[in-house]
Amino acid sequence: MLGFVEFSCSACEEKGQGAPKNEDLGRTFSIKAATPASNPFAQERIEQAIIANLTAKGRTLVDGDADLALFTHVKVSVQKALDLNSLGYGGYYGWGGWDGDFGATRVNVLDIPVGTLMVDAVDRISKEMVWRGIAQGTIPASSTPEKSKKRINKAVAKLLKNFPPETRAPEK
């Protein structure tokens, strides 16, 4: 079917009231595929991009008990789009006035695959979700592995741009 799942970030958000301070979110993390991508190569690229991004921010990946557990959820859905093509020159003006239509209109229904990546950060001690990031974008029908990796890296970097979240005062 589709070669590689690719994303572009359309919305990223924080979850929870009074999110913990950056340093309180911990220095270690683990990654778990809660809803893995149907393509194992795409899932691996997503996890590699998360690891590279967070280690660049001073976080450390661990296999055991991490301060934060990051759960990835990947879903591919299909949106419908209409493609209208009008062919021909339309009518003409002749002896009898305006006449006829020499054209045709063709309507094609297209299936456009859309990928969504959601990353939830759960605190190990409180077992509460402290952050959520969401990236969504269309998936090209054909792509090289290099282009796929580049798009995934770009989307994950955008998704994790505001991670860890800045300190927020509790809402009243």
pTM: 0.72
pLDDT at 4 over 90: no
On whether the 11-82+112-159 domain is CATH 2.40.50.220, my answer is: no
pLDDT digits (tens, 9 = 90+) for 23-72: 557 799 999 999 999 999 999 999 999 999 999 999 999 998 999 999 99
Q: Give the helix/strand (H/E) hosting 117.
A: strand 104-123
pLDDT at 86 over 50: yes
The whole-number pLDDT of residue 167 equals: 52
Going from N- to C-terminal start, the domains of the chain cover 11-82+112-159
Mean pLDDT value across the chain: 80
Which 3-state string (H, E, C) describes 31-72? EEEEECCCCHHHHHHHHHHHHHHHHHCCCEECCCCCCEEEEE
Percent of the chain exceeding pLDDT 70 equals: 70
pLDDT at 17 over 80: no
Give Cα 164 to chain centroid, integer Å.
18
pLDDT digits (tens, 9 = 90+) for 115-129: 999 999 999 999 999
